[in-house]
Amino acid sequence: MPAARILIISNGPLCRNPRVVKEAATLGHVGHDVTVLTVRNHGPSEKHDLELLRNAPYRRETVDMLPGFNASRWTVFIRRLSLWACRKAPRPLKNHLAGALGPSGPLLRHARRLRSDLVIVHNEAPHWVGTQLIKDGRRVCADFEDWHSEDLLPDDRARRPLGLIRAVERTLLHHAVHTTTTSHALAEAIHKSHGGRRPHVIGNSFPLQSDPRNGPPGQPPTFFWFSQTLGPGRGLEHFFAAWKLTRHPSRVVLLGEVHGDYAQRLLARLPAERRHDVSFLPLVSPAELPVVITRHDIGLALEQAFIANRNLTITNKIIQYLNAGLAVVASDTSGQREVLAHAPNAGIIVETHETARFAAALDALLAEPEALRQRQRSARQLAEETYCWERETPRLTELVTRALATPA
């Protein structure tokens, strides 16, 4: 493949965008000159980003939303004030303000200064940037890791510029060189909604880790859940309602940045004698997370099916559990059914709102250690055969080769 200049645009720290990191590393390793343009907006993530950049086959450029880096305090102040004003605007006006999606203007200005043969945009503000670069005559591809116009809880959606987001999605599906997404279910739904070219599927897989979970389940077995933020609307309320009814002993470990007093509110749902079986872990670096996952037995993938995006996408959680060799407890979503259809014994699919049946399913999983061990082996085998980045790399590089051969 001839080497090319590739610009990847994202909207936050690299450590919070593993799909961007995998894409950049893959394209850099095959010889392309890769630059990732992103937004520096979370101070604690900077040390993790620097770890990722050490010996990386790509470079990073940033639009700074924090003082003390490359932008002056005055520039950062103006950018943050503009972002605040756009997000506080009345909803009808938001649909005409690209700043309601994030620091769209600074990202676009920076992107226009960077020469490239191909631009790949991820997430909301970069998606808008992509539509403007298409007008400039640039060759643009877009990734839909999430279907942003169909995401989030109803209260959050009420404050969103949904008209603008839908218009951006439609433009990219009709005018980008190609688009990609995480599951066949999501690709079909986005295409049905907006028309244009059906997105190609590049899974949310990770490189196979060399130290998957081995040996019998722990005593007692441990359920594990992780996310950037530990807060409401993630299915944990339904899980704890069922888990407190289980008869077989087990523990629960939750990893993430706790939102307010959410940890205390979760524990308040449990009888006093069960609370000591729940542990909370702080965020860890992307390099540390796979090892942390392997210390547990059963991964919780509790996506909410009533949110269209969460129903259709395939998230990092379920894929990382398979990679680490954990049995999976998955809520009944189209994306997660797509995964477990390849190996039904790798986990169980549950209706999380049916508390008694959910509790019975958890108890059945805990009752037979050898059956649980067989599920763990099936999970790892599914990662090796289907859901690992080694399987996605040829598809990604072929798509990029074809995109580079396509006129802008």
Is residue 158 located within the same domain as residue 232?
A: no
With respect to residue 216, please indicate whether it lies within any of the assigned structural domains. Answer: no
Longest alpha-carbon distance in the chain? 65
Q: Per-residue pLDDT for the chain (408 aa), expressed as one digit of tens each?
A: 578 999 999 999 999 999 999 999 999 999 999 999 999 999 999 999 999 999 999 999 999 999 999 999 999 999 999 999 999 999 889 999 999 999 999 999 999 999 999 999 999 999 999 999 999 999 999 999 999 999 987 888 888 999 999 999 999 999 999 999 999 999 999 999 999 999 999 999 999 998 788 778 889 999 999 999 998 888 999 999 999 999 999 999 999 999 899 999 999 999 999 999 999 999 998 889 999 999 999 999 999 999 999 999 999 999 999 999 999 999 999 999 999 999 999 999 999 999 999 999 999 999 999 999 999 999 999 999 999 999 999 999 999 999 999 987
Is residue 48 located within the same domain as residue 197?
A: yes
Q: Which residue from 172, 157, 199, 195 is spatially nearest to 313, judged by alpha carbons? A: 199
Q: How many CA atoms lie within 13 A of 352 on its CB side?
A: 20
Which domain covers residue 189, as residue numbers?
A: 5-205+390-404
With respect to residue 213, please indicate whether it lies within any of the assigned structural domains. Answer: no
Is residue 372 located within the same domain as residue 394?
A: no
Is residue 90 located within the same domain as residue 175?
A: yes
With respect to residue 139, please indicate whether it lies within any of the assigned structural domains. Answer: yes
Task: Give the chain's end-to-end CA distance (angstroms, integer).
Answer: 19
**For helices 316-324 and 369-385, angle between their N-to-C axes, nearest 10 degrees:** 110
Q: Please count the residues of the chain.
A: 408
Task: Assign residue 121 the CATH number of its domain.
Answer: 3.40.50.2000
Is residue 170 located within the same domain as residue 281?
A: no
Is residue 191 located within the same domain as residue 228?
A: no
Is residue 236 located within the same domain as residue 170?
A: no
With respect to residue 210, please indicate whether it lies within any of the assigned structural domains. Answer: no
Is residue 152 located within the same domain as residue 13?
A: yes
With respect to residue 281, please indicate whether it lies within any of the assigned structural domains. Answer: yes
Is residue 152 located within the same domain as residue 37?
A: yes
The number of distinct structural domains making up the chain is 2
Is residue 20 located within the same domain as residue 119?
A: yes
d(CA 397, CA 393): 6
With respect to residue 217, please indicate whether it lies within any of the assigned structural domains. Answer: no
Give the helix, strand, coil percentages of the chain, each rounded to 5: 50, 15, 35
With respect to residue 147, please indicate whether it lies within any of the assigned structural domains. Answer: yes
Is residue 138 located within the same domain as residue 266?
A: no
Is residue 307 located within the same domain as residue 343?
A: yes
d(CA 254, CA 276): 13
Q: Give the residues across from 60 on adjacent strands.
A: 36
